[in-house]
Amino acid sequence: MKKRIGAIIAVVLLLTTAGVLLFTRREPAAEPRRESHFALGTVVSLTVYRPVSQDFFTGAFALVDEYEQKLSRNLEGSEISAVNRAAGEGSVAVSPETWDVIEEGLRYSRLSAGAFDITIGPLVSLWGIGTEAARVPEEREIDDALSLIDYQLVSQDEENRRIYLPEPGMALDPGAIAKGYIADRLAEYCLTRDIGNAIINLGGNILTLGTKPDGSPYRIGIQDPFSPRGSYIGIVTTADRSVVSSGVYERFFEKEGIRYHHILDTGTGRPVRNSLMGVSIISERSVDGDGLSTSVFALGLKQGRDLIESLDGVEAVFITDEKKVYNTTGLTGKFSLTAPSFTAGDQP
Ligand code: FAD
Ligand code: MG
């Protein structure tokens, strides 16, 4: 009898141990899985380090499409198009998401004292940079467009979430802020599905979630503004951060040897001309990276660097036309310059 009880106990112990081993066995490190989707005029890609179903990617890209339907100036049916069409006529009710994007745009318009301006729409349409209609406009056309650009005129009815542009022809353009906002929403999408390690990439607007599965940080290349896409001047080592760049290389056309790029000066009405060729912002929220990269690019090296140093939790890399590279103090040790043709500029 004793023998039998002993045997039963042994079997139970064996099974329990096997069960515990089975359930606590660490998942083998999964190969990263990456899926891409064309939206927002660019390639959106999502890399995750855990096995996920196809539905995970389908849902994420559907979310991006949903935001595009609301925010795109290229779609007649979007909320932004509705607000712009009603300029000078009446206010338009918008969804909470569109409201938030406009709010963020207004915030950066104020922070940069209008160097970034969410009402830049008429000027963007006039130049048509990145479209087949790109051209150098007449001075008079530029002046007319400039007279319609003033973020301070945007009227908001917060209670009813209505937006009003008081002058006919005024137009909001969320192109410099919306990708960052959408990247942040994709991060929430991942986190609510228990995906804590991921890379969200909206056409170079990058948001990293957590670390790599082995605990090491991500290494993000900073685009060389003088070379084709995918050539880097250096590497930022980072975890749980967004890395967003703005530069002369992103969208442009050339005429008579002059490059006309897509970030416009709200003073001159022409592409911004200062010593900067590119700027990258490292921040927690991607919407801040997007808003700040365009703002800093428009403000120039000195003012841009002062602005970033004045903000908590935000760092930047600046690349000038003399191939000098500057980084903010908080990036020391986290940014390494790797391209031999660039030199580190004086740090402040
Ligand atoms: P950023 O520096 O972040 O932004 C530059 C863009 O901001 C410019 O292209 C202009 O739109 C605007 N801008 C210029 N100067 C200023 C300024 N001083 N202040 C504020 N804003 C300024 N591209 C397509 O080709 N086809 C599409 O159908 C299309 N749909 C899109 C839909 C959505 C919702 C969004 C967000 C983008 C879409 N795009 C599309 C891309 C868009 O046109 C811009 O090229 C892109 O958003 C610029 O991002 P960036 O990171 O390169 O530059
Ligand atoms: Mg931007």
* pLDDT band (50, 70, 90) for residue 228: confident
DSSP E strands: which ranges in the chain?
A: 33-39, 42-48, 92-93, 155-157, 162-164, 198-202, 205-209, 218-223, 232-238, 242-247, 252-255, 258-261, 276-283, 315-320, 324-327, 335-337, 343-344
* pLDDT band (50, 70, 90) for residue 25: very low
Ligand 1 contacts (CB < 6 A) are 40-41, 68, 71-72, 74, 116-117, 120, 124, 130, 173-176, 178-179, 205, 246, 250-251, 262-264, 266, 290, 293-294, 298
Report which residue type is found at 15. L
Return the pLDDT at 165: 98
Lowest model confidence (mean pLDDT) among 1-10, 24-33, 175-184, 207-216:
1-10
Contact by Cβ (8 Å): 269, 142: yes
Return the pLDDT at 249: 85
Contact by Cβ (8 Å): 294, 116: yes
Contact by Cβ (8 Å): 302, 193: no
Say whether pLDDT at 17 is over 50: no
How many helices (H) and strands (E) would you count in the chain?
9, 17
CA distance 278 to 305: 13
User: Within 10 A of 52 (CB to CB), how many other CB atoms are there?
Assistant: 19
Pocket mutation for ligand 1, best pick of 120, 222, 253, 262 (most atoms within 8 Å of C-beta) = 262
Nearest to 346 by CA among 329, 326, 316, 332: 326
Say whether pLDDT at 12 is over 70: no
* pLDDT band (50, 70, 90) for residue 11: very low
Report which residue type is found at 267. G
- Ligand 2 ion: Cβ-proximal residues, 5 Å cutoff: 176, 290, 293-294
**265-293 pLDDT tens trace:** 999 999 999 999 999 999 999 999 999 99
CA distance 52 to 108: 36
**59-95 pLDDT tens trace:** 999 999 999 999 999 999 999 999 999 999 999 999 9
User: pTM for the full model?
Assistant: 0.92
Burial of 49 (0-12, 13-18, 19+ CB in 10 A): buried
Task: Quote the ligand 1 centre to 204 CA distance (angstroms).
Answer: 12
As a whole number, mean pLDDT of residues 144-149 equals 98
41: alpha, beta or left? (left if phi > 0; alpha if psi -120 to 50): left
Return the pLDDT at 23: 40
Percent with pLDDT over 90 in the chain: 87
CA 347, chain centre distance (Å): 26
Phi, psi of 92 (to 5 degrees): -130, 135
Nearest to 190 by CA among 244, 243, 245, 240: 240
Contact by Cβ (8 Å): 153, 204: no
Return the pLDDT at 229: 82
Q: Annotate 244-262 with b (16+ C-beta within 10 A) or e (fewer).
A: bbbbbbbbbbeeeeeebbb
Return the pLDDT at 19: 40
